[in-house]
Amino acid sequence: MKNIIIAIDGYSSCGKSTLAKDLAKCIQYHYVDTGAMYRAVTLFLLQNHIDIYHPELVENALQNIQITFEYDKESQSQFTILNGENIENEIRVNPRVAGTVSEVSAISAVRRFLVQQQQAMGKKKGIVMDGRDIGTVVFPDAELKIFVTADPNIRAQRRLEELAEKGQETTFDEVLANLEKRDLMDSTRADSPLIKADDAIELNNSTLSKEDQLEWILKLVQEKTQISAS
């Protein structure tokens, strides 16, 4: 039974992270949320008033960024750590981060910086990684690639409910507009745009439950590895 790399790409608010986390837990793989890494960089730049439209300033700032992940067994949750500080909640609910992350993600220096870290994380395989360019740029030779999509209105409603649970008030129209903006930027940027890899398997989860998605992907993983879910 061999360890493999599982790459899960797709649009914002499609539930990629939830699917990846659930899968990693089932097959006892390491999970890496690359979206959190880009959000962490975005938060750092905002907090330090770095002009994201000056690439040299951004590239210099990257030298002061260290991103790690910590897992809490009691809550069974993974936290994003930026320079020793738990920023998990901040990067999920801060509207400035959500509104800026796609622009930051389009900066070549940022992508090079994080892709290098992500590739290092996957050297031993046994990893589930989700993002926008995992199957195309970070791990083009990944043994299993999934591309997740869903109806924009359903994605917006899911995001709205997620924000409401965290105490952030907004409207459906605002959330939908933000998603559409991110989709456009992610799919049209010059550096590593969001596209489906030729050998990726598409998952439209508009009408699927979390349980249905997990069951679907577990079958694919078992075909590749013969790993039994725990």
Question: Over the stretch 33-76, which tens digit does the pLDDT of each residue have?
Answer: 999 999 999 999 999 999 999 999 999 999 999 999 998 777 77
Question: Is the confidence at residue 143, as pLDDT, over 90?
Answer: yes
Instruction: Kindly report the average pLDDT of the chain as a whole number.
Output: 92
Range of the structural domain that residue 197 is part of: 5-218
Q: What is the pLDDT of residue 195?
A: 94
What average pLDDT does range 16-23 have in this prediction? 93
Amino acid at 90: E
Looking at 25-29, 71-75, 225-229, which range is the least confident one? 225-229
Q: What is the CATH number of the domain that holds 194?
A: 3.40.50.300
Is the residue at 164 inside a domain? yes
pLDDT tens-digit readout, 156-194: 999 999 889 888 889 999 999 999 998 998 899 888 899
DSSP secondary-structure letter at 19?
A: H
Is the residue at 146 inside a domain? yes
pLDDT tens-digit readout, 190-224: 888 999 999 999 999 999 999 999 999 999 999 99
Q: What is the pLDDT of residue 160?
A: 93
Is the residue at 38 inside a domain? yes
DSSP H helices, the chain, are: 16-27, 34-47, 55-62, 88-93, 95-105, 108-121, 152-165, 172-188, 210-225
What average pLDDT does range 140-162 have in this prediction? 95
Contact call for residues 1 and 123 (beta carbons, < 8 A): no
Domain tally for the chain? 1
Is the residue at 154 inside a domain? yes
**Token representation of residue 70:** 């910590």
Is the residue at 223 inside a domain? no
Is the residue at 225 inside a domain? no
Is the residue at 230 inside a domain? no
Q: What is the pLDDT of residue 77?
A: 80
Contact call for residues 60 and 52 (beta carbons, < 8 A): no
Task: Give the global pTM.
Answer: 0.86
Q: What is the pLDDT of residue 227?
A: 59
Is the residue at 228 inside a domain? no
Following CA atoms 91, 94, 96, 98 in sequence, which dihedral angle do they give, to the nearest 10 degrees? 60
